[in-house]
């Protein structure tokens, strides 16, 4: 059986990459686990994923916390915020199809946009919570 986190990331990647609005804002399908060398800004990366087992004696499932990072070299936060809003619209309460698991629900828990002095760029962060159950 495929790990629920891997299955969810695959579905999230497909949802983000399939959005004409998002791909347009990014200037291409620039959605990465790890960005390639010399990647052009702006782009998205998958961040940290935490998986918690909430199984009981009669039910099994996982709670997953995962993050999406927005990276922008624009002067202000506008570009990062616009991209973040599209990502939020695509993933908050989304009904993504998984193969071996059922997505009970997914929602945005936290978002933040800030200037990263060390890297001299705008950094957006969105953290989502998803609950999955295996398909029986």
Percent of the chain scoring above 90 in pLDDT: 90
Range of the domain at 100: 4-134
Mean pLDDT (the chain, rounded): 95
The CATH number of whichever domain residue 40 belongs to comes to 3.30.2000.30
CB 44 within 8 A of CB 32: yes
Mean pLDDT for 97-126 is 96
Domain count across the chain:
1
pTM, two decimal places: 0.94
Q: State how far the Cα of 110 lies from the Cα of 100, in Å rounded to an integer.
A: 28
Query: Phi first, then psi: what are they for 97, rounded to 5°?
Result: -85, 130
My answer on whether omega of the bond before 42 falls inside 30° of 0, hence cis, is: yes
Mean pLDDT for 66-92 is 97
- For residue 7, what pLDDT is reported? 95
């Amino acid at each position: 059986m495929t790990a629920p986190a891997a299955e969810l990331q695959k579905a999230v990647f497909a949802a983000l990459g399939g959005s004409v609005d998002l791909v347009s804002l990014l200037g291409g399908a620039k959605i990465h686990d790890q960005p390639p060398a010399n990647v052009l800004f702006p782009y998205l990366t998958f961040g940290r994923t935490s998986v918690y087992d909430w199984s009981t004696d009669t039910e099994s499932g996982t709670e997953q916390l995962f993050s999406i990072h927005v990276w922008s070299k624009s002067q202000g936060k506008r570009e990062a915020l616009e991209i973040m809003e599209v990502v939020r619209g695509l993933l908050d309460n989304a009904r993504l199809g998984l193969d071996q698991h059922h997505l009970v629900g997914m929602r945005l828990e936290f978002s933040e946009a800030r200037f990263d002095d060390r890297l001299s760029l705008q950094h957006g962060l969105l953290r989502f919570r998803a609950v999955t159950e295996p398909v029986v």
